[in-house]
């Protein structure tokens, strides 16, 4: 079924059900909060917010809204379901039908017979999710629609609760997923695998009002809305993907023709390898988004919407060049995408010439700078990589921007592809200097980059032979010496130098394992190796200090690994594999490695997981890991092809670009089997004890476990045992009873602290009770201004003010209290209801006092608090408050 027909069937289905057909709004709306329309409901916001009455006769509407989400730019092509431009088909009800109606409408269209206007999807392949406590929606799906309970899954606020991100309407939602089959992932529904189970429709039940807050799940729900509304969104591209039987949204009838054109222009075949496919998908996706933006009046520029369009078009051009295109490509891409999109958007035909003209002009301008700028970037990246650096300097990024017109985003993207970061702080500093001084001055600061291409010949013609899997000492020859980025022939005592050997047993940092330490010997000459880095995946660079004698290029030397260092590194790296396996056993297969670092005796392991681990889970991970150590499994390494390794079940991590031959490290058969190029122990028992130190969050959806291995673990556990033993002795309690003893003491301490707090409050109440008599009358309002005893905590002010205010009963009264709490001067203003009725506002009076004591505050009419720092101004401040009240109630 073609996409145009999918759109027609959706619209007709809801028009037949009494909905008003609403044409798609422009991608550019008069909304200061949005660059582009990014959701189907955006044009209907005034109706959902109650700002306007919906102009639809039946209180229902349907539309297929064109949308652009710029946050998805970096995901394009990498995932199989992200588009920057997409069509969101929706139906909307403003106080008419609610959950049952929305669910029934969606189900009827999705599963209805094709000959009767439906999509004909197999109902047995549809799954749904509902909000955690939305029993009403779950019951409708099960009892009314007939979906088995096992295909109804519940998710929390972050996934199945909708709001606009600001105070206003909100509510639970229900999402419909299509099971694409076992070839796309594991069983278990959307919770288990959202690639196999593709979300195609989201039904939002607007029934509540939300308050202030941030994020998807950190806001207060204030109560129900006066009217319950429906907002749904069906992804047209995703439904097309399913109905057309293609693997992803880039291969549907709308985008695949652009890929075909790109194949013809580049001579490269789509589907040959992942990175190549990403570039084809970028071309297809961005061609459509760019065309639709130009259609709606956006032109390339350096700011706002124009910058987004320029960035998209330049990514197309660069991707085509990387695929092999030699000449201009934009006109062909634009014509192809306009051919596929015109049936759905007839207005394209009248704007065809303008769209091509804008796109081709941008291509012409960018091609003039792309070649020279790309060459400069490649040189800079090579210099950084050859020197073992992981960062491109700010000055290099600035030169690309200033001289060659490269947006910083493009430099960041190219750097990421090269495995580099960019010194953005340095870049921003130079940008600031450029704005502050003449261009000629700034140009003077952009010369003299060090040439670090000295390693290139070694990478290409003399790759290092690594012998460290089989031996810790290797006789070799020095084939290169580098100092300060330049090739040298000799190095002398006291110099720091980079040594390139023909062969080495020293491991170069990779896969999370730090580089080896060791020595290079030649007679009386001794070099201390402090680090080993890999360049171009082929060249080992030994960073060393000449501690005795001197050395020449061509010298025969013996390279020896520090045995203790390697032993500890092997233990930690093998322990990392065991912890990974234990983690997956405890948390399930969704806990996937996201990074690691191991050095002798210590490891940290990052993994994708959203929830904090419980103490019980951590204990289980530690127990399973040490059981694997105790079993004394053989640690086997197998060299094989990548396909054979995957067939064995070996885990390939990080989406790395592995070669044809790979190394599989297997511990305990299926317990742990990973692709890994690191060094490992021979038997799991050689790891020694593993002590898990704890876990914590290190980013959104990523957590980290830290642990010790070997002697470091033993020493840590010994210290812990000694601490527990000493504590038990001081408490005269057996070690095993320490937790109960400490818990009991903690409860006693809490009780004592509570009793002290109560006594403090009683004492403070007794000290301040008499203050009521010090109140003065100002035109019928009793006013009490007083300093509380020094040392009174700021937190006590509110309690004292509330107590004293109650003592005035129904009389109009205002209390102004302050105290000195260290260097701070907390203060509070409280007013009785009778005083508020006279026009007193505590929030106004608090600022009057604040002006005299260097502070400020805020609150409600009956009570406001603040804090200052100048106690000497209190008396004057009290008088100012009295004067203000005199004028207010006079």
- Which parts are annotated binding residues for Zn(2+)? 573, 577, 676, 680
Tell me how far apart the alpha carbons of residues 789 and 41 are, in angstroms, rounded to a whole number. Answer: 58
Backbone angles phi, psi at 297, to 5 degrees: 100, 5
* DSSP string covering 530-575: EEEEEETTTEEEEEEEEEESEEETT-EEEEEE-HHHHHHHHHHHHH
- How far is the C-alpha of 731 from the C-alpha of 734, rounded, in Å? 9
DSSP 421-449: EE-HHHHHHHHHHHHHS-HHHHHTTS---
| DSSP label at residue 753 | H
Read off φ and ψ for residue 429, nearest 5 degrees. Answer: -65, -45
Annotated binding site: 573, 577, 676, 680
Segment holding 519, helix H or strand E:
strand 518-522
Quickly list H helices, 671-822: 710-731, 738-769, 794-807
CA-CA distances (angstroms) from residue 574 to 230, 561, 600, 603, 675?
A: 54, 18, 11, 10, 13
- The 8-class DSSP code of residue 141 comes to I
Bridge partners for 21 per DSSP: 62
The total number of residues shown for the chain amounts to 890
Pairing between β-strand 473-483 and β-strand 486-488 as defined by DSSP bridges: antiparallel
Q: Which of 216, 201, 215, 213 is nearest to 161 (CA)?
A: 216
Q: Are the C-beta atoms of residues 223 and 167 closer than 8 Å to each other?
A: no
CA distance 644 to 665: 14
Q: How many CB atoms lie within 10 A of CB 144?
A: 13
- CA dihedral 390→394→398→399, nearest 10 degrees, is -60
Distance CA 256, CA 46 (A): 37
CA–CA separation, 236 and 201 (whole Å): 9
- How do 465-466 and 503-504 pair as beta strands? parallel
CA distance 737 to 518: 47
Do residues 632 and 688 touch, judged by C-beta distance below 8 A? Answer: no
Nearest to 386 by CA among 272, 304, 485, 524: 485
């Amino acid at each position: 079924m073609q996409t145009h027909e999918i759109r027609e069937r959706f619209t007709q289905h809801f028009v037949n059900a009494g909905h008003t057909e609403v044409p798609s709004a422009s991608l550019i709306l008069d909304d200061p909060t949005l660059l582009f329309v990014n959701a189907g409901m955006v044009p209907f916001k005034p109706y959902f917010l109650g700002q306007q009455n919906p102009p639809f006769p039946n209180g229902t509407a349907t539309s297929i809204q064109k949308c652009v989400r710029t946050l998805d730019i970096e995901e394009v092509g990498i995932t199989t379901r992200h588009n920057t431009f997409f069509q969101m088909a929706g139906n909307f009800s403003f106080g008419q039908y609610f959950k049952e109606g929305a669910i029934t409408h969606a189900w009827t269209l999705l599963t209805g017979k094709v000959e009767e206007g439906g999509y004909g999807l197999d109902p047995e392949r549809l799954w749904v999710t509902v909000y955690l406590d939305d029993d009403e929606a779950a019951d409708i799906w099960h009892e009314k629609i007939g979906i088995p309970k096992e295909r109804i899954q519940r998710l929390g606020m972050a996934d199945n609760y909708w709001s606009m991100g600001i105070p206003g309407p909100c509510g639970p939602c229900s999402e419909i997923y299509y099971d694409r089959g076992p070839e796309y992932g594991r069983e278990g529904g959307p919770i288990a695998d959202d690639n196999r189970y593709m979300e195609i429709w989201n039904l939002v039940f607007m029934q509540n009002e939300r308050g202030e807050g941030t994020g998807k799940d950190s806001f207060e729900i204030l109560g129900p809305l006066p009217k319950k509304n429906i907002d749904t969104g069906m992804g047209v591209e995703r439904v097309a993907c399913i109905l057309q039987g293609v693997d992803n949204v880039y291969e549907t009838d709308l985008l695949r023709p652009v890929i075909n054109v790109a194949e013809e222009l580049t001579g490269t075949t789509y589907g040959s390898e992942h990175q190549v496919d990403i570039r084809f998908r970028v071309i297809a996706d961005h061609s459509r988004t760019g065309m639709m933006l130009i259609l709606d009046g956006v032109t390339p520029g350096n700011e706002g919407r124009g910058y987004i369009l320029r960035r998209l078009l330049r990514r197309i051009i660069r991707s085509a060049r990387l695929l092999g295109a030699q000449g201009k490509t934009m006109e062909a891409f634009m014509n192809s995408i306009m051919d596929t999109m015109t049936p759905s958007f007839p207005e394209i035909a009248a704007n065809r010439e303008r769209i091509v003209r804008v796109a081709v002009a941008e291509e012409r301008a960018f091609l003039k700078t792309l070649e020279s700028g790309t060459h400069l970037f490649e040189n800079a990246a090579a210099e950084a990589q050859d020197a073992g650096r992981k960062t491109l300097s700010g000055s290099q990024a600035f030169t690309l921007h200033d001289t060659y017109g490269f947006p910083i985003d493009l430099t960041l993207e190219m750097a990421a592809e090269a495995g580099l970061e960019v010194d953005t702080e340095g870049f921003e500093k130079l940008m600031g200097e450029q704005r502050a001084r003449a261009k000629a001055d700034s140009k003077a600061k952009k010369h003299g980059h060090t040439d670090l291409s000295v390693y290139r010949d070694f990478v290409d013609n003399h790759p290092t032979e690594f012998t460290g899997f089989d031996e810790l000492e290797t006789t070799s020859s020095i084939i290169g010496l580098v100092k300060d980025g330049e090739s040298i022939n000799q190095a002398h005592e006291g110099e720091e130098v980079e040594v390139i050997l023909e062969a080495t047993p020293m491991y170069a940092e990779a896969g999370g394992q730090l580089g080896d330490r060791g020595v290079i010997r030649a007679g009386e000459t001794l070099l201390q190796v402090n680090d080993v880095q890999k360049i171009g995946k082929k060249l080992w660079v030994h960073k060393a200090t000449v501690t005795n004698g001197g050395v020449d290029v061509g010298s025969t030397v013996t390279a020896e690994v520090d045995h203790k260092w390697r032993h500890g590194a092997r233990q930690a790296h093998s322990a990392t594999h065991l912890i990974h396996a234990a983690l997956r056993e405890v948390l399930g297969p969704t806990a996937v490695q996201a990074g690691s670092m191991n050095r002798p005796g210590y490891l940290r392991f990052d993994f994708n997981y959203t929830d904090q681990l419980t103490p019980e889970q951590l204990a289980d991970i530690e127990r399973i890991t040490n059981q694997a150590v105790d079993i004394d499994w053989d640690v086997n390494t197998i060299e094989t092809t990548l396909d054979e390794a995957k067939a064995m079940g070996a885990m390939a991590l990080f989406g790395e670009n592995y070669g044809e031959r790979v190394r599989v490290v297997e511990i305990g058969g299926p317990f742990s089997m990973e692709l890994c190029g690191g060094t490992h122990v021979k038997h799991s028992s050689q790891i020694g004890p593993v002590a898990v130190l704890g876990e914590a969050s290190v980013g959104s959806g990523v957590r980290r476990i830290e642990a010790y291995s070997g002697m470091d673990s033993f020493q840590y556990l010994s210290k812990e045992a000694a601490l527990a033993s000493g504590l038990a002795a001081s408490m005269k309690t057996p070690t095993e009873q320490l937790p109960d003893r400490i818990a009991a003491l903690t409860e006693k301490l809490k009780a004592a602290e509570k009793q002290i707090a109560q006594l403090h409050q009683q004492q403070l109440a007794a000290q301040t009770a008499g203050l009521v008599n010090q109140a003065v009358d100002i035109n019928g309002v009793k006013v009490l201004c007083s300093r509380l005893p020094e040392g009174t905590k700021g937190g006590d002010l509110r309690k004292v003010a509330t107590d004293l205010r109650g003592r005035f009963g129904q009389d109009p009264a205002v209390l102004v209290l302050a105290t000195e709490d260290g260097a701070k001067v907390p203060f509070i203003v409280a007013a009785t209801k009778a005083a508020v009725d006279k026009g007193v506002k505590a929030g106004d009076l608090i600022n009057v006092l604040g002006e005299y004591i260097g502070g400020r505050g805020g609150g409600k009419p009956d009570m406001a608090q603040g804090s200052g720092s100048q106690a000497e101004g209190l008396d004057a401040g009290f008088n100012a408050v009295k004067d203000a009240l005199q004028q207010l109630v006079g």
